[in-house]
Structure 1
Amino acid sequence: MSRAELRIGIRSLEGNIKSLYRFSQKPIIAVLKANAYGVGALQVALLMDKLEEISALAVACVEEGIDLRKVGVRKKILVLGGVLKGEEKAFVEYNLTPVVSHKEHLKALAGLNIPIQIKYDTGMGRLGFLEEVIKDDRVEGILSHLSSPLDEEYSKLQIERFVKILNHYRGLKYVHMESSAGVVYRIPFTTHIRVGLALYGEKPMPNYLVSLTPALELRAKILSVKTLPAGFSVSYSRTYITEKSTRVGVVAFGYADGLMKSLSNKAYLFYKGKPVKIIGNITMDMTMVDLTNTDAQVGDWIEIVGQNQSFTDLAKLAGTIPYELMTNLSSRIRRELCL
């Protein structure tokens, strides 16, 4: 039993992976960092480990890679966030592939006979070498990252910079740059695409060229239903006052679960497909909604994300990005694979 759950649709997830593969004609590196963007890395990793379209998985740090190995993941795991001294033994013990983006990372890996990949900063201004060619027999691949995929001119400049770097290498097994949004550029010289958000049916840009199906349903149970009279205040700071007799439901989901307080008095949740407005301030563990003209009862489910709205939709209302909403999802939300 759970008061809140995130249901992960296996068929939709697999369908999105196949759709991305068909569109790009390239094997996929599935990014499962930050608990698979909040979806649940341990829930989806073993599923992805069995799919032929998935060539490798990617995480942010050594600890995330170790967690995947401990549940039985066998495919290649890239660690995107570099290498710190003291971590080098874990790369060997757990068969993790480091992504090197600084000379200090190379120093930490000195003497270790493991494949490495080199990251280049072509315009992100974050991790990565600028133009330096790394002459090391262990190099099996190079990668970069598009900072602004919606900016076509700048993205093409980054691609041009990357191809100039690629010309200094030979015999690479992995060349990757395209993210969920970046796949639309169909970069001809890359060998893989590296995607995260699109796997779950969240479209990273308007008019996205890849056909995706929503794979996530986030829902929570109703804790209370009661009718408040006109002129009654709802929640902290009295930001909502009922104008008439109102049937108010209390949903077992708050900002501690990942529903940002900025959505208070703005966003809608859904009951049996019908929108029900959030009224009053979202609190730590609970959110109030207007259930007038519904037959909702205590114990019924309220949909937060699913067929009626996406994380992207909520993020626009909250003034943020879907990644932030998703990675803020609480550990007390049950994650469940379902058909």
Structure 2
Amino acid sequence: MSLATNEPGVSARLDIDLGAVAANWRQLDAMHPGETAGVVKADAYGLGAVPVAQALAAAGCRSFFAAHLAEAVALRAALPQARIAVLNGVFGHDAAVFRAHGLIPVLSTLAEIAQWRAQARAAGRVLPCFLHLETGMNRLALPVADCAVLAADPTLLEGLRVDVVMTHLLAAEVPEDANNARQLALFSTLLRSFPGVKTSLANSSGMFLGAAFHTDLARPGAALYGLNPTPGAPNPMRPVVTLRAPILQIREVGPGESVGYNGVWRAARNSRIATVGVGYADGYHRSLTNSATACFDDTPVPLVGRVSMDLSTFDVTDTQARPGDWLTLLGPRHDADALAAQAQTNGYEILTSLGQRYQRRYFGA
């Protein structure tokens, strides 16, 4: 059913189903024998870290991952009892801020370990940490040689309590990729240097790779927000996000007339072109030019012409759409993964690009 708006100043509306987020977490938690955390970095993939984390906590989630210190500090105010780990570690930060807010750094270098150990000495107590081991991603993580250094000199971890040893899968969304088995084998070997310590391996897609990848702590992110953790197969997760925009104007365009910058689309017939107030400044990517699809009621309507900073145009010729009616740019019939394919990117970038000009509405919590 189409919507009409009489709300002044609303250029577009982003509806976020917190009930679906919680249901997705419960579904993942039920299939994983260990603990299931919630990854809420990048403002919960663009959907709002605080409301999302509060919904996850209400569903039973007790551990959360942020990327940056500032993200974690803001999260702590909303979740005073949660375990919050900071993936990017303490490098470049005052380690005392981590301690003051009860945050757990994920340590990826010997220098970071020394920095956190110094903080433990200054505090006069044992401080918790996670260790991130390198198994093939070659980003932030302790190289294999440094793992050997730690194994040879246990004093390097004095004053620290290693709660979790983790690594990051580089191709979990491709089950047949040989890197999955290779990383699992290397991780298992490196764990011999950390007997009795809990482990964390699976991200969203990794949770679907089988029992061997089900360790003590899973770290789903994308799947919580409705992205498909099993590309090529039906999406097992509930949809979370709906993005709608009201039609600002409808123009009658004759055959041969162009629409938008540089005239990259021309009408082949008498056409009705609807303009909505969403553009690349709102995370609706310029690469969607002449390729995206929205919906009016249940009817697909193609994006025509170039996406501009604040506006996009759609061919609504075959509909009864009028100014003030709403087009659905993201929703169950055309989700972030589908839009990502049209933008030649991934669903992660679609969600994390969602701008701040949308009127955000949370429901279902």
State the TM bucket, normalised to the shorter chain. Answer: over 0.9
| One-letter amino acid of the counterpart of residue 139, structure 1 | V
Q: 1:206 to 1:237 in 2, by over 3 A?
A: same
CA distance in 2, matches of 1:87, 1:5: 39
Report what 1:78 is aligned to.
Answer: 85
1:25 and 2:49 matched: no
In the TM superposition, residue 207 of structure 1 has moved relative to its aligned partner by: 4.9
CA distance in 2, matches of 1:216, 1:96: 30
Q: 1:111 to 1:42 in 2, by over 3 A?
A: closer
In the TM superposition, residue 58 of structure 1 has moved relative to its aligned partner by: 0.4
Segments of 5+ residues of structure 1 without an aligned counterpart are none
Does the 8 Å CA contact 1:257/1:329 hold for their aligned counterparts? yes
Alignment of 1:1-339 (within 5 A): 2-52=10-60, 54-109=61-116, 110-112=118-120, 113-131=126-144, 132=147, 134=150, 135=154, 136=157, 137-149=160-172, 150=174, 151-172=176-197, 174-185=198-209, 186-187=211-212, 190-208=215-233, 211-339=236-364
CA distance in 2, matches of 1:187, 1:210: 22
Summarize deviations over 1:189-243 as a string: whole Å, max 9, x none.
6101101000022113335588311111122221112222222210000011112
In the TM superposition, residue 57 of structure 1 has moved relative to its aligned partner by: 0.7
2:53 alignment partner, SS class: helix
Does the 8 Å CA contact 2:202/2:214 hold for their aligned counterparts? no
2:168 alignment partner, SS class: coil
1:45 alignment partner, SS class: helix
In the TM superposition, residue 293 of structure 1 has moved relative to its aligned partner by: 2.3
CA distance in 2, matches of 1:26, 1:7: 32
Q: 1:26 to 1:111 in 2, by over 3 A?
A: same
CA distance in 2, matches of 1:188, 1:114: 28
CA distance in 2, matches of 1:115, 1:208: 39
Kindly indicate which of the two structures has a greater share of residues assigned to helix. 2
- Name the stretch that deviates more: 250-259 or 67-76: 67-76
In the TM superposition, residue 31 of structure 1 has moved relative to its aligned partner by: 0.8
CA distance in 2, matches of 1:117, 1:191: 13
Report what 2:4 is aligned to.
Answer: none
**Equivalent pairs, count:** 337
In the TM superposition, residue 187 of structure 1 has moved relative to its aligned partner by: 2.6
Under a length normalisation based on structure 2, what TM-score does the superposition of the two structures give?
0.87
| One-letter amino acid of the counterpart of residue 51, structure 1 | A
CA distance in 1, matches of 2:165, 2:360: 34
Q: 1:207 to 1:120 in 2, by over 3 A?
A: same
Does the 8 Å CA contact 1:231/1:242 hold for their aligned counterparts? yes
- Name the stretch that deviates more: 315-324 or 198-207: 198-207
In the TM superposition, residue 73 of structure 1 has moved relative to its aligned partner by: 4.8
1:205 alignment partner, SS class: coil
CA distance in 2, matches of 1:28, 1:41: 17
CA distance in 1, matches of 2:28, 2:214: 17
In the TM superposition, residue 25 of structure 1 has moved relative to its aligned partner by: 2.7
CA distance in 2, matches of 1:314, 1:209: 16
The Cα RMSD (Å) is 1.8
The alignment-based identity, stated in percent, is 29
| One-letter amino acid of the counterpart of residue 78, structure 2 | V
1:240 alignment partner, SS class: coil
Under a length normalisation based on structure 1, what TM-score does the superposition of the two structures give?
0.94
